[in-house]
Amino acid sequence: MAQIEATVDEPLAAAEAKVRSALQEHGFGVLTEIDVAATLKEKLGVERAPLKILGACNPGLANRALDIDPDASLVLPCNVVLEPVGAATRVRIMDPRDLMTDVELSELAEEAAGRLEGVVRSLGAC
């Protein structure tokens, strides 16, 4: 799966705050939040390394995608994954160009990818 990725020289909590701010700067809001480690601990008693998934959405892009193809709802919202790597945090975002391969959605996928690449650049990633 293609992804847009960066490593931020910050621990998870600080990196998450930066990611949320960068998403907002580029027109995205966070609709969902999943603390995978906490959920698996609660539901299965399994200990896992921290892993967080933020469901990000740009309402204008989402609306346009749904107007073109209602099945675009299958890839909404856009997952932003944060996980610690040593003292830093790896941030990965699914590349919408890999998810929306229909010709009718290609221009919109390019625009969304450009905005998400801007999010990563805003993080001052290393």
Q: What pLDDT is attached to residue 108?
A: 94
| Res 126 pLDDT > 70 | no
**What is the tens place of the pLDDT at every residue in 81-118?**
999 999 999 999 999 999 888 899 999 999 999 999 99
**Total of domains in the chain:** 1
Residue 125 binned pLDDT confidence (cut-offs 50, 70, 90): low
Cis peptide before 50 (omega within 30 of 0): no
Is 111 in contact with 61 (CB distance < 8 Å)? yes
Is 6 in contact with 120 (CB distance < 8 Å)? yes
The CATH number given to whatever domain includes residue 49 is: 3.30.310.70
| Residues spanned by the domain of 9 | 3-122
Whole-Å CA distances, 53 to 16, 32, 38, 72, 126:
10, 8, 12, 20, 21
Give this prediction's pTM: 0.92
**What is the tens place of the pLDDT at every residue in 37-75?**
999 999 999 999 999 999 999 999 999 999 999 999 999
